[in-house]
Structure 1
Amino acid sequence: MRYNIVSKGDHKSNSIKENMETQMQNTEMIKDTETPEIVISVGGDGTLLEAFHKYSYRLAETAFVGVHTGHLGFYADWLPHESDKLIEEIIDGEYDVIKYPLIDITVNYNDEKNPSQHIALNEATMKTEDNTTLVADVSLRGKHFERFRGDGLCISTPSGSTAYNKALGGALIHPSLRAIQLTEIASINNRVFRTVGSPLVLPAHHYCLITPVDQRTIMTSIDHVTTKHHNVKSIEYKVAKEEIRFARFRPFPFWKRVHDSFISDGRDD
């Protein structure tokens, strides 16, 4: 099996990476940084996001697994002291593949510039460059839904619903549901201006088109990368055809991850 290990870069993560690669020696495992069948992320959820974007061109062939060197993360099944056991499991080659939905993002421009295509594992946000009020028309399935006024909009995946979306008051969605969630960022609601004021959960056969009313520069944040866009006509968000594949060697239910991250104090109930 072809593999690669992506480290956060700190001493602890690098040490674990080196130990894992040593264990891989003299086995049938082959290190391959270009076309790995399995990618091991050592660090935090941010490290796995970086690994995901690095290999986003081969999501159908590559599975991901995480070793978390900080606190427990949503994308990491393994803790540092379990890394030796993980390598044994990988060498055995027996694991289940769990698939999570992604967001497909298309930025359309008013000039002749070709649309830019992006993909997100956690979320994508849309704001103005100078953090002034974003005024944009929101359409669902080609039908105008509302005119939004506020700081911005966040579109999240089910797995990403536990991140920025949760901080905005969005719902937590199980990743088995192929959906995206649209959540407002500090919307303006009064007698003159009105939005729905609640997160919207859209199924895979729906799409969301957001059209800025004026021509201010738009800032998009896609997972960990922020980009400035000029002359934006509209941005379309929908459930991507691609999915991320996780290598699952043991059960780790989504709701247990939620419990351990937000409710558990580290003691047995």
Structure 2
Amino acid sequence: MPDRRNLYFFYDEKNSPLLEKMQPIYASLQKSGFTILDNPKHANAIVSVGDDTTFLQAVRKTGFRDDCLYAGVAAAKESSFYCDFHIDEGEKAMAEIANTEIEVRRYPIIHVAVDQDTAFYCLNEFSLRSSIIKTIAVDVLIDDLYFETFRGDGLVVSTPTGSTAYNRSLRGAVVDPFLPCYQVSEIASLNNNTYRTLGVPFILSNNRKLTLQVIQDGNDYPVMGMDNEALSIKHIHQVVIQLSDRRIKTVKLKHNSFWEKVQRTFL
């Protein structure tokens, strides 16, 4: 049976103060029987050190693994949704882990396929935005139903955990991560006698397929956002989005629920 106490740490290697702060944590973990790896391939847990952006990068750079645990360690004082532990409280975190004061949460992710050629996952959100100073036009289909034609700056498709990010700034709903669904929000839609959209964010269940067909009117070179990364592909015709069967397993403290984080961050 493989060792279940193999850890891999993901952080900015150029951040010298952060590296120094990590040394006592490494020593404490090794003393408790954990093995610190220099490659994530055989890690049973992948720990990001930094902020939510670092956590998203750690999940993406390690392939959205569903056979290991992800944990976030915050390096700053700001509130964080993915980081339940703090770098200045390493000993406290170890005690909580030893006393099983942690839980495992399974967060939904979305699968995005572009023109049946490129595919990727997103933990927070996928965005499709105009790359020039001109509105982008997109036919929106739900399953096989033509739903609407959107014209505006773009669209954001968010997961439940991503609902507190870009989606919330677009007045989207904050969604409980226990719900297997995803949300579609508009960025500056144009509504007139020619173009008409629902005009509010809407939520789709895990059984629904969302298809975005980019109208080829010269603005078919959009910027696509994958969490905190951007992808540009010329002449995009179609993007198909579905909730994936895969889940990201994260380690969290028992008394630090999603809604406690929402309350602490926004209220």
**TM-score normalised by length of structure 2:** 0.90
Q: Secondary structure at the match of 1:22?
A: helix
- Report sequence identity in percent: 27
8 A contact 2:140–2:148 mirrored in 1: yes
2:204 paired residue number: 202
Distance 2:222 2:180 in 1: 27
8 A contact 1:37–1:62 mirrored in 2: yes
The Cα shift of 1:12 comes to: 4.4
Deviations 1:229-254 (A, max 9, x none): 12222001111111110123423111
Deviations 1:151-173 (A, max 9, x none): 00000000000000001111100
Query: Unaligned regions of 5+ residues in structure 1, if any?
Result: 109-113, 264-269
2:70 paired residue number: 64
Distance 1:24 1:247 in 2: 16
The Cα shift of 1:14 comes to: 2.4
The Cα shift of 1:218 comes to: 2.2
2:192 paired residue number: 190
8 A contact 2:172–2:185 mirrored in 1: yes
Distance 2:58 2:87 in 1: 18
Q: Secondary structure at the match of 1:20?
A: helix
Whether 1:104 and 2:111 are equivalent positions in the alignment is yes
Q: Secondary structure at the match of 2:211?
A: strand
The Cα shift of 1:259 comes to: 0.9
Q: Secondary structure at the match of 1:232?
A: coil
1:7 paired residue number: 11
Distance 1:174 1:5 in 2: 28
1:132 paired residue number: 134
Distance 1:52 1:256 in 2: 23
Query: Unaligned regions of 5+ residues in structure 2, if any?
Result: none
8 A contact 1:2–1:29 mirrored in 2: yes
Q: Secondary structure at the match of 1:194?
A: coil
- Match of residue 23, structure 2, among 14, 18, 41: 18
1:228 paired residue number: 232
Q: Which amino acid aligns with 1:247?
A: V
2:254 paired residue number: 250
8 A contact 2:47–2:72 mirrored in 1: yes
**TM-score normalised by length of structure 1:** 0.89
The Cα shift of 1:79 comes to: 2.4
The Cα shift of 1:88 comes to: 4.0
Whether 1:143 and 2:145 are equivalent positions in the alignment is yes
* Shift in CA distance, 75/21, structure 1 to aligned 2, threshold 3 Å: same
2:57 paired residue number: 50
Deviations 1:169-200 (A, max 9, x none): 11100100011100000000123321110101
1:111 paired residue number: none
Moved more, 237-246 or 30-39: 30-39
Distance 1:135 1:246 in 2: 37
Distance 2:30 2:85 in 1: 21
Distance 2:247 2:258 in 1: 17
Distance 1:7 1:249 in 2: 21
The Cα shift of 1:35 comes to: 2.0
